[in-house]
């Protein structure tokens, strides 16, 4: 196993959550194949201690044994045709970087990692995304990188920037609209409310999108003053979680404050989304509703 990014100071590791025992076999296309193995909390604790001792941000595993130790995933394809694969462990979570052909087995077996990043082609047509598993598989394969190096870099970036809720809720991901990790507007069309939904949703610089479990929920127009709520926002809990994820723009310094004046083209004060914005942490401001940096004072 190798290390990535030496730290300048020691930080006490924080384990995110115990991992469940996973299935040992997975059915893919009717074929029963060896699946993931259990990953126990003590393994994560040992990995966190290894990060602490070495002063590292991440551990990157390349051997099948170490990949299985970090993620529980054992590759049937890799056992027959050796290929480059990586498992990454950080304080923020874990990720798998694999050829796209491995994606169906990983999704079917519910391998417990925060991110799956593929590279290359899947070699088979994707199923219609009619179920949650199919939607996740479609999103993973549609964002496949060209080569293993780009996929590894993408996985490390996701682990640095995405904060997974600690209460088991779906994972929120805030991305620039033009980010290669966002398939919408490129490999996939933007979700629409109907044939008459003609809103301009583009992959332009300065625009952002919040994905919940890979599904776009909120689109932030360039400049941040206007939001577009997508069909998945019809679930109020999902909408509030996506809106709350916008705080990352303020917390990491991309904007000094985020002031929303319009939602779906309507003034925010008259919008049906006003209460959801307030619940997500937005506060009344002169021009609309705003997210501001948290005060460091007690």
Out of 7-11, 47-51, 135-139, 167-171, pick the least confident: 7-11
In the predicted structure, residue 127 carries a pLDDT above the cut 60: no
In the predicted structure, residue 26 carries a pLDDT above the cut 90: no
pLDDT at 54: 72
Out of 93-97, 110-114, 188-192, pick the least confident: 110-114
Compute the distance between CA of residue 232 and CA of residue 246 in angstroms, rounded to an integer: 16
Taking the CA of residue 213 as centre, how many other CA atoms within 13 Å lie in the half-sphere pointing to its CB? 15
pLDDT tens, position by position, 55-83: 777 788 888 888 888 888 888 776 677 77
β strands within 38-192, DSSP E = 56-61, 86-90, 93-99, 115-119, 172-176
pLDDT tens, position by position, 143-153: 788 888 788 88
Identify whether the C-beta of residue 73 lies closer than 8 Å to the C-beta of residue 93. no
DSSP β-ladder status, 93-99 and 115-119: parallel
* Locus of tokens 């990720």: 95
Pair of tokens at residue 202: 């583009």
Out of 128-142, 212-226, 278-292, pick the least confident: 128-142
pLDDT at 166: 47
Classify domain 2-161 at the CATH topology level.
Creatine Amidinohydrolase; Chain A, domain 1 (3.40.350)
In the predicted structure, residue 141 carries a pLDDT above the cut 80: no
- How would residue 29 be classed by pLDDT, with cut points 50, 70 and 90? very low
Average pLDDT over residues 94-115: 83
pLDDT at 15: 36
**DSSP codes, 216-260:** EEEEE-TTSSEEEE-GGGGSHHHHHHHHHHTHHHHHTTS-SEEEE
With b for 16 or more beta-carbon neighbours within 10 A and e for fewer, the 221-253 pattern comes to: beebebbbbbebbeeeebbbbbbbbbbbbbeee
Question: What is the DSSP secondary structure assignment for residue 155, as one 8-state letter?
Answer: H
Average pLDDT over residues 96-110: 82
Pair of tokens at residue 108: 């079917």
pLDDT tens, position by position, 178-235: 876 677 887 678 989 888 988 989 888 889 999 887 789 999 999 889 999 999 999 9
Compute the distance between CA of residue 18 and CA of residue 240 in angstroms, rounded to an integer: 26
pLDDT at 24: 40
pLDDT at 292: 84
Pair of tokens at residue 22: 């996973």
In the predicted structure, residue 16 carries a pLDDT above the cut 70: no
First to last CA, the chain: 41
pLDDT at 231: 93
Name the strand (E) or helix (H) holding 209: strand 208-212
CB-based contacts of 195, cutoff 8 Å, min separation 6? none
Question: What is the DSSP secondary structure assignment for residue 9, as one 8-state letter?
Answer: S
Round the average pLDDT of the chain to a whole number and report it: 77
Name the strand (E) or helix (H) holding 267: strand 266-267
Compute the distance between CA of residue 185 and CA of residue 209 in angstroms, rounded to an integer: 11
């Amino acid at each position: 196993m190798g290390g990535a990014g030496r730290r300048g100071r020691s930080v006490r590791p924080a384990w995110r959550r115990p991992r469940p025992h996973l299935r040992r076999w997975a059915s893919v296309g009717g074929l029963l194949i060896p699946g993931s193995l259990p990953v126990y909390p003590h393994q994560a604790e040992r990995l966190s201690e290894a990060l602490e001792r070495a002063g590292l941000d991440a551990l990157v595993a390349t051997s099948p044994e170490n990949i299985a130790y970090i993620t529980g995933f054992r590759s049937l394809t890799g056992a027959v045709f050796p290929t480059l694969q990586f498992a990454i462990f950080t304080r923020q979570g874990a990720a798998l970087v694999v050829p796209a052909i491995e994606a169906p087995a990983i999704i079917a077996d519910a391998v417990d990692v925060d991110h799956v990043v593929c590279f290359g082609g899947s070699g088979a047509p994707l199923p219609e995304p009619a179920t949650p598993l199919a939607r996740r598989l479609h999103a993973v394969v549609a964002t496949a990188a060209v080569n293993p190096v780009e996929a590894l870099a993408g996985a490390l970036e996701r682990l640095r920037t995405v904060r997974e809720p600690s209460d088991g809720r779906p994972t929120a991901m805030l991305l620039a609209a033009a980010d290669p990790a966002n398939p919408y507007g490129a490999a996939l069309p933007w979700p629409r409310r109907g044939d008459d939904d003609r809103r301009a949703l583009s992959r332009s610089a300065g625009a952002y999108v919040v994905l919940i479990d890979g599904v776009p929920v909120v689109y932030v127009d360039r400049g941040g003053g206007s939001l577009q709520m997508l069909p998945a926002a019809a679930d109020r809990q999902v909408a509030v979680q996506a809106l709350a994820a916008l705080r990352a723009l303020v917390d990491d310094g991309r904007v000094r404050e985020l002031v929303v004046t319009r939602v779906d083209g309507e003034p925010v004060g008259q919008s049906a989304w006003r209460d959801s914005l307030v619940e997500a942490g937005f506060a009344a401001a002169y021009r609309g509703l705003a997210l501001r940096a948290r005060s460091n004072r007690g």
